[in-house]
Amino acid sequence: TSEEIKTAGRILSIRGHGKVMFADLEDYTGKIQLFFRVNELGEEKFAQIKENIERADIVGVIGNIFKTKRGELSIIVKKIELLTKTINFIPEKFHSIVDTDKRYRKRYLDLLMNPEVREIFKKRAKIISTLRRYLEDMDFIEVETPILQPVYGGANAKPFITYHNTLKQNLYLRIAPELYLKRISVGGFEKIFEIGHNFRNEDIDSTHNPEFTSIEIYYAYQDYNKMMELTEKILNHIVKTVNNGNLKIKYKDYEIDFSIPFKRITMEEIVKNETGIDVFAHNTDELRAMAEEKFMEDYEKPQNQRQFLLYFFEKMVEQNIIQPTFIYDFPIDNSPLAKRHRTKENFTERFELFVAGTEIANGFSELTDPLDQKARFEEQDSKRAVDSEAMMNDYDFVNALGYGLAPTGGVGIGLDRLTMILTNNVSIKEVILFPQMKSVHEKE
């Protein structure tokens, strides 16, 4: 045709036949065929292209659009400019490399050669933008809290420690933004959220990376029941948006249905249903004997019935929860920031959402009583000599609660794990552009 266009991209392949050459040009929208011929370019220019333009080079072209006899959209090149010369060898079939470590270490090459990997990160971006837009439409305000913190808290985890030369003090990379977000709530912001990175100096496995992304949401005058409703609505909306309106997705060998309402069941009920163990019908010695008989590890650690309830849930139940399910009413023993249950002594109004055997969200009715919070911090702090994941005593946070935190519901959602499920990936490394890897010395 007579239509002239200008475009640019990377040469995926180039091939020649006498006085004509063909090349495939790719940019973020797709690829198109380039057609070079001596009659159009002249002998000298054609020879220069043949000698200097190679696969993987980045070029700009001017030419006319036409369709080949096979109906393939192509450009008859009138002018070509070399924009970037690629000097490293790029394998033609990078995806055939079975060494996943190499893919993660050279993610730039992985992205370059594997369109399906790029699609994962496009979907990840859409998940996060959809989530942000949903909350903003509900009049939530996005805020930012410190990553470097003098006192770490908001979760039971081992922190990374650094040192500030001017202040002459240790600082910690945050393990969670929770305590700062609740300070903001004390200041009168009733609907807030933060999307950001957290850092935990812990094991690396298929669902854990030392640096990970989460969202935390705080909503005044709500409790954990309302936060379960909000969580399922958010996830339902995200799945519908990124999955072309379909609420059923394939993950591993499962079909996961994100239709609402999600199933809800107390931890005590599901442990009894799935294991046959009625925890509160037995004393600790009997429960320990049951665990020992089942050859379970660390059976000596739980010291009361509530701790055994959590122990049996984690060892025998949670990995078998496939469809989206809220587990609620957690023991106070492992919930130092959650409000005491309104009817169950030594329990809290806390929930976790499980999908495909993985925890996706954690939320509760927030603890607003400064004296209760101070006592729980002191109990946590007393364990730090033997438990590297126990929380520090954050006196400033207790002081903030003394100025009054409205009844508030909160929830945190792991965005890496959510992306794993929505892209059907079993490793967290597949959904983080640059996952943490052990250093190797490469000169290439």
Cβ neighbours of residue 444 closer than 8 Å, sequence gap 6 or more: none
Nearest to 146 by CA among 116, 111, 184, 110: 184
Percent of the chain with pLDDT over 90: 84
Cβ neighbours of residue 248 closer than 8 Å, sequence gap 6 or more: 255, 256, 257, 258
Determine the Cα–Cα distance for residues 1 and 54; give it in Å rounded to an integer: 27
Domain match, 227 and 355 both: yes
Supply the CATH number for residue 258's domain. Answer: 3.30.930.10
Instruction: Evaluate whether residue 291 is within a structural domain.
Output: no
Determine the Cα–Cα distance for residues 234 and 193; give it in Å rounded to an integer: 13
Last residue within a domain, chosen from 61, 84, 107: 84
Domain match, 256 and 377 both: yes
The pLDDT of residue 93 = 60
**Range 398-403 average pLDDT:** 98
| Global pTM value | 0.93
User: Given a cut of 80, is residue 358 above it in pLDDT?
Assistant: yes
Domain match, 201 and 341 both: yes
**Range 278-302 average pLDDT:** 92
Domain match, 172 and 252 both: yes
The confidence band for 101, taking pLDDT boundaries of 50, 70 and 90, is: confident
Structural domain of residue 79, as residue ranges? 4-84
User: Given a cut of 90, is residue 102 above it in pLDDT?
Assistant: no
Average pLDDT of the residues of the chain: 94
Instruction: Evaluate whether residue 287 is within a structural domain.
Output: no
Last residue within a domain, chosen from 34, 69, 84: 84
The confidence band for 95, taking pLDDT boundaries of 50, 70 and 90, is: very low
User: Given a cut of 50, is residue 53 above it in pLDDT?
Assistant: yes
**Range 325-337 average pLDDT:** 96
Determine the Cα–Cα distance for residues 404 and 432; give it in Å rounded to an integer: 39
Domain match, 35 and 157 both: no
Instruction: Evaluate whether residue 90 is within a structural domain.
Output: no
Q: Which helix (H) or strand (E) holds 226?
A: helix 224-242
Domain match, 41 and 119 both: no
Determine the Cα–Cα distance for residues 235 and 7; give it in Å rounded to an integer: 39
Total domains in the chain come to: 2
Contacts for 426-433: CB closer than 8 Å, 24+ residues apart: 426/206, 426/252, 427/100, 427/206, 428/206, 428/207, 428/208, 428/209, 428/212, 429/100, 429/104, 429/209, 430/120, 431/120, 431/121, 431/124, 432/209, 432/212, 433/107, 433/121
Last residue within a domain, chosen from 84, 101, 129: 84
User: Given a cut of 80, is residue 441 above it in pLDDT?
Assistant: no
The confidence band for 400, taking pLDDT boundaries of 50, 70 and 90, is: very high
**Range 354-379 average pLDDT:** 96
Domain match, 148 and 212 both: yes
Domain match, 178 and 236 both: yes
Nearest to 72 by CA among 34, 41, 38, 40: 34
Instruction: Evaluate whether residue 343 is within a structural domain.
Output: yes
**Range 79-94 average pLDDT:** 86
Domain match, 386 and 330 both: yes
Instruction: Evaluate whether residue 267 is within a structural domain.
Output: no
The pLDDT of residue 16 = 86
More confident call, 250 vs 99: 250
